[in-house]
Structure 1
Amino acid sequence: MKKQVYLWCSLLLLAGCKTSKPLPPGVSGAQDGTFRIALGSCNDTDRENFLWDDILSLKPDLWIWGGDNIYADTGDRDSLRAFYKAQKQIPGYLALEQSTPIIGTWDDHDYGLNDAGSEFEAKARSQQEFLTFMGVPENSPRRRQEGVYTSHTYSLPGGSVKVMVLDTRYFRSPLTRDPGGNKRFIPNPEGEGTVLGEAQWAWLERELRKSGADFNILVSSIQVLSGQHGFETWGNFPHETRRLLQLIADSGARGVFVLSGDRHISEFSRTATPPLAYPLVDFTSSGLTHAYTGFRGEPNPFRVGDVVSTESFGYLVLDFNANRAIFRIVGDGGEILGELAQQY
């Protein structure tokens, strides 16, 4: 499917350890008190990339990669570089790069090994290639930091948005295989292991507690709330999930929600997070080029609405005037496959 693409405003590709920039005049958020974000994950350069025209047609103010941005499954730098080059040569993505700021995180297949965590020996080399793909300068502190986590703040006339990009790979402890074979993984013994590692935990606490943004977004390549399906999830480390929810509740940050990927399905999850006056939403958007079309169901007590098991991307409208976020799952042709509105 082809559409005529109009490039509407040349914006800088955001890079570096931390970004805080007002958006240039002419973008949607500067005009009507909203900020529009598109996001996606699970993108294979060897498959048809057919959603970029739909993404471009919505003219997002920001694109967020949720991980598995390529399917390399290697720690070889030359191979990684070739996969990233192939992604940048896809016309629709090239047009997005030229019109829209791009940020994001990685997951296992661009990290370099399926289901891998801290034990992956090539992770430092993989990090450098990922940062190059994301346009991070060679002299950025992120080049010397362990892990790809970072934050970006966007200031507009109506308010501000802070995006905290987490790294759920570099420090993540080994997973526990299900000895019964009913699931791929089961939760680690209580208190054992970490998702973020202590350095990243300390960073995240500082970022949340000092944030004055109207909306605070956590980007996690794996799901936070849905933890019973037996694949990769924060639920494999229950004590880390509780720690994250407690930090969000105690931080005082406004309008916090999670964006996640990995699963080749898209869904909304939501749970109460006292003492916050609003529930925590985990919006899973996956995948861009291939989906879990054989999905027949799995437990998720926090699910809101139906699971989407066809190719899709995420689209958010953050409304500063109404203190509201509208989350949408969007498919080919711009079809809205799911929607959730949350008041903050």
Structure 2
Amino acid sequence: MRNIPFILVILLISVVSCKKDKKFVLSFGSCNNQNLPNPLWEPLLENKPDVFIWGGDIIYSDTYDMNVMKRNYDRLKNDSSYIFFREQMEIMGVWDDHDYGLNDGGVHYSKKDSAQLLFLDFFDVDVKSYRRKQQGIYHSRVFKTGRSSIKIILLDTRYFRSDLEKDPSGKKRYIPTRNTESTMLGEKQWAWLQEELENSTSQFNVIVSSIQFLSREHGFETWGNMPLEVERMMNLIKTSKASGVIFLSGDRHIAEISKTYIENSEIELVDVTSSGMTHSYESFTSEPNPYRVGEVISEKNFGVLIFDLKNNQVDIEIRGEENILFERYVVNY
């Protein structure tokens, strides 16, 4: 050290401090029809994200014909704007029903294994990857920032999901099921998730679910259609002691931020919904959600999460065309 110029020592200390205090920016979005223009690629880049996460419905391809699905993926993958976008950062994602291949589809979709291979091809997953051998697209990734890290856990809410219970009154599409055998993730994925959370040493753990976790009264697809699975997830988060758990979701063609506290704990749980990117529920008026923070955004939108690792804080933003800020919520851990 004595042979290093004093000014260089100062610079080295500054570099280490910057890395330690660096903010990590995560962006995400869902519901992207490959046949429609996406006006959000440029404003997304303005936020300088470290990673972009697809929240599902990357393409719209309800089909049993895998040649059709491949053409739809290729159309997006070869789009010049998306090519430039994906060259700028890491991109990850989960599927929802329309890129899975069947509207509101679950365990009984007969083409799910073929659809999984096309999904992995879209993300250029290595041909030798374990992800090409397992059933379902779930996986995780840890991003290190200085001495801290952020774990991103991507769930598959389609491959194993049991049939939903339709509302016999016709007032809603689905109602909470009384079937104790119903599952959202399947036992193998549940066991994997338990290990991911219990063994996590990350400061923040982001769980990506294509469908909403907290908002559950609207009658469409939601974790709330399987109350026992919601309870199981809450208990797992509490007993695993994983820190800074945040849910990301899509599907609904609206954006909203929901929060609650896990029963008998001080754990604040937030679910950030961002949808859709090429088309949104512009005629939205209202729907119940006792967990909602702020307003529902019915214009095209994307989500941005800014992780302040030094202060253990997350700045959650919903943004739209021209990078306009629709909604903001700050979580302190």
TM-score (norm 1): 0.90
1:228 aligns with 2:217: yes
Deviation (angstroms), 1:233: 0.2
Give 1:165-180 correspondences, 5 Å limit.
Answer: 165-180=154-169
Deviation (angstroms), 1:93: 1.4
Distance 2:40 2:329 in 1: 21
Q: Which runs of 5+ in 2 are unaligned?
A: 1-14
Deviation (angstroms), 1:31: 7.9
Which residue of structure 2 lines up, in the alignment, with residue 14 of structure 1?
none
Distance 2:19 2:53 in 1: 19
Give 1:98-117 correspondences, 5 Å limit.
Answer: 98-117=87-106
Q: Write the letter of the residue equivalent to 2:70.
A: R
* Partner deviation per Cα, 1:119-141 (whole Å, 9 max, x = no partner): 10000000000011111111111
1:238 aligns with 2:227: yes
Give 1:93-132 correspondences, 5 Å limit.
Answer: 93-132=82-121
Which residue of structure 1 lines up, in the alignment, with residue 242 of structure 2?
253
Deviates more, 1:268-277 or 1:92-101: 268-277
TM-score (norm 2): 0.93
Q: Write the letter of the residue equivalent to 2:253.
A: H
* Partner deviation per Cα, 1:204-233 (whole Å, 9 max, x = no partner): 000000000000000000000001100000
Give 1:153-172 correspondences, 5 Å limit.
Answer: 153-172=142-161
Deviation (angstroms), 1:274: 4.3
Aligned to 2:87, the other structure's residue is in SS state helix
Tell me the percent identity.
46
Conserved? CA contact 1:278–1:343, under 8 Å: no
Which residue of structure 2 lines up, in the alignment, with residue 147 of structure 1?
136
Q: Which runs of 5+ in 1 are unaligned?
A: 1-25
Distance 1:40 1:342 in 2: 20
Give 1:226-305 correspondences, 5 Å limit.
Answer: 226-274=215-263, 276-305=265-294
Of the three residues 19, 24, 27, the one matched with 1:35 is: 24
Conserved? CA contact 1:75–1:126, under 8 Å: no
Aligned to 2:24, the other structure's residue is in SS state strand
Of the three residues 315, 328, 332, the one matched with 1:339 is: 328
Larger C-alpha radius of gyration, 1 or 2? Answer: 2
Distance 1:273 1:125 in 2: 38
Q: CA RMSD, aligned part only? A: 1.4
Which residue of structure 1 lines up, in the alignment, with residue 12 of structure 2?
none
Aligned residues: 317
Distance 2:314 2:96 in 1: 25
Deviation (angstroms), 1:159: 1.1
Aligned to 1:99, the other structure's residue is in SS state coil
Distance 1:181 1:47 in 2: 32
Q: Write the letter of the residue equivalent to 1:55.
A: L
